[in-house]
Structure 1
Amino acid sequence: MQRTITAIERLILRIAAICVIAIMLIVCTDAVSRYAIHRPLPWAFDLITYYLLIAALYLAISGTFQSGDHINIDLFRNIMPKRLRNALDVIWGVLAAIAFGVIALGAAEEMTKAYANREFLPGYIAWPAWASYPAIAIGAGVLALRLLLHCFKLAVHGEDKGVADTSGEHVE
């Protein structure tokens, strides 16, 4: 399970990186065409906000958690005994997994409804509404699975070597 989730995270992180590169290229092209030839890209804002930013954010959240790069508030956490810290990590991890599971299921449901109703987003181009939901469902779903695996490993083994330790402890 660890290898599968890690492989999925790597794949969707690459897609998120491609989305960030695409955003950069579109914004630069739009700026140059707007000020150099007075012909902005009228679809750029909609494409970036409806699809690319959402994909860049949601497809990166599980990999960001796995690498320990999320913001942490650890004022008291680092002075807690390891067993208490692990127990609290399991509790918050299960709660977070439930929350992200609900987000994933909600996004999948909204995607299905938008597709069935043939909904389109307003703008210069009538973008299909359903197409902005897969990244949310996939990203939140993968994070929910990563969190559940993390909680299981913490509960059973007392550590999860598949997730970066942000406690400040250095094991040598």
Structure 2
Amino acid sequence: MLVWMDRLARILAALGGAVVFGVAVAVTLSVVMRIVGLQGLRGDFEMVEMSCVAAAGLFLPLCQLNRGHVMVDLFTEWLPRRVRTGLDWIWLLGFALGWAAVCYLTLQGLAEIRAYGDRTMLLSVPVWWAYIPSALGTGAASLIAFAQVFVLPRQPIVQTGH
């Protein structure tokens, strides 16, 4: 397996985990503040919204690396291994192209939202910031899928959990 794929996927997933952890701490703090009679953190729900988008995008490359997407082999399990491998290759190519398309469209959306100057209501954070991790994640997932298609076509599915 190419080392860069593993490192890239793990770094982005770690960033996604840090985002989830950070927003979990902020929401917990906000709830505790409300329980003790203080005003909660302003815009805590906006933080949750933005972080969900960021984390979801950042977890995609690790999912792609592990080929952890839902696979339904109900109709193909009876086929010879070579045929199933060929079908898996076609689906992998589809994922690579699909991630590339989603990345492109995310970047288009980022540019459009940035041009509008949209900001969140309470925190006044530029909405386009949430698109950056998604573009990174879908772009990295696409690179990893293309590498799996063209660089490692004969490699078995490798779980990266050590």
Q: What's the TM-score once normalised by structure 2's chain length?
A: 0.85
Question: CA contact under 8 A between 2:65 and 2:145: conserved in structure 1?
Answer: no
Mapping 1:108-147, distance limit 5 Å: 108-121=107-120, 123-147=121-145
> Percent of counterpart pairs with the same letter?
21
Residues 1:14 and 1:142: Cα distance change in structure 2 (over 3 Å): same
Task: Say whether 1:159 aligns with 2:158.
Answer: no
User: What does residue 54 of structure 1 align with?
Assistant: 53
Q: In structure 2, the residue corresponding to 1:120 is in which secondary structure?
A: coil
Q: Which residue of 2 aligns with 1:148?
A: 146
Match of 2:84 in 1: 85
Deviation at 1:98, TM superposition (A): 1.5
Separation in structure 2 between the aligned mates of residue 77 and residue 10 of structure 1, nearest angstrom: 32
Tell me if the contact between 1:89 and 1:151 (Cα under 8 Å) persists in the aligned partners.
no
1:13–1:63 Cα contact (<8 Å) kept: yes
Measure the CA separation in 1 of the matches of 2:156 and 2:152: 6
Shift of 1:52: 0.9
**CA positional deviation for 1:67:** 2.7
Residue 78 to residue 37, structure 1, CA distance change in 2 (3 Å):
farther
Q: Report the number of matched residues.
A: 160
Q: What SS class does the counterpart of residue 126 from structure 1 fall into? A: coil
Query: Are the aligned partners of 1:86 and 1:154 in contact in 2 as well (CA < 8 Å)?
Result: no
Counterpart position of 1:168: none
Q: Indicate yes or no: 2:23 matched with 1:23.
A: yes
1: CA distance, partners of 2:65 / 2:102? 19
